[in-house]
Amino acid sequence: MKILVTNDDGIHAPGLWALAAQLTRAGEVVVCAPDREQSGTGTAITLHRRVRLTQVDSPLASVRAYSVEGTPGDSVLLALRMLEDVTMVFSGINRGANMGHDVLLSGTVGAALQGYFHGVPSVAISVEAGRAGESTNFEVAARLAPLLAARVNPNGAGPLLLNVNLPNLPLERIGGIDMTRVGTGGYSTAITMGRDGDSDDYRISIGKPRWSFEEGTDIHAVDRCRISITPLRGELSTAGETFLPEDLPSALFRDL
């Protein structure tokens, strides 16, 4: 098994190396990750400039590492082009949960999506960030990764995209693992205004979470001190209530 490991917190993030180290139990590991923090970049790819890829020193003897001057999505695209026969992509371990609406903003999930789009079974893993003064515990998430790799059978039935979120707790305080659906709500964004010469400028930052705690969701599971595994797929259309008038297509077409 050849496993590509990437993230959106950047190649120096401790969560990335905790994940890579544990995955060496499951197979050959290659790290290819952004050269700096790229949180919030979703599935973005860099189209309008050249993207530099550099082989860098790896803290793990058996693991080759590459740094990319681009997004998590770029890292996966370039690695899949450079490497042959990647069996799985693992993205993370992100510092901070990626649940609810944040699944669509997350570079951690975005990198996994790029793997999935290319037919490679892909897993995003995130841990709730420690509160101020509290460290983030990557250990349980890292241990889970090779177990998942061994059990989900990368050559199995169909395309695979999993979004895994863990509470920031040691194993003895985690109650179990739930298969979940994506919840609603996410981190709010805070905007502060500044002034740069003649123009206004703004800083966008992450505020407090505004989560909805419906049962069966990723948010609910992690809130109950459980690990959440959400199977995703690339198709975003809704199967249920759309809140649109039933005659919308015919009325629109008539008025055209």
Q: Are 168 and 133 contacting, i.e. CB atoms less than 8 angstroms apart?
A: no
2-6/227-231 β-pairing: unpaired
Is residue 128 involved in binding Mn ion (CB under 5 A)?
A: no
Nearest distance from residue 15's CB to Mn ion, in Å?
8
Binding mask 77-116 for Mn ion (x = CB under 5 A): -----------------x----------------------
User: Rounded distance, CA 42 to CA 107, Å?
Assistant: 4
- By C-beta, is 120 or 125 nearer to Mn ion? 125
Is residue 163 involved in binding Mn ion (CB under 5 A)?
A: no
Nearest distance from residue 130's CB to Mn ion, in Å?
14
- By C-beta, is 22 or 71 nearer to Mn ion? 71
User: Rounded distance, CA 227 to CA 182, Å?
Assistant: 13
- By C-beta, is 94 or 122 nearer to Mn ion? 94
Nearest distance from residue 7's CB to Mn ion, in Å?
7
Nearest distance from residue 62's CB to Mn ion, in Å?
25
Binding mask 16-55 for Mn ion (x = CB under 5 A): -----------------------x----------------
Among 4, 8, 11, 32, interactor with Mn ion by CB under 5 A:
8
Among 3, 5, 6, 9, interactor with Mn ion by CB under 5 A:
9
The residues binding Mn ion (CB under 5 A) are 8-9, 39, 94
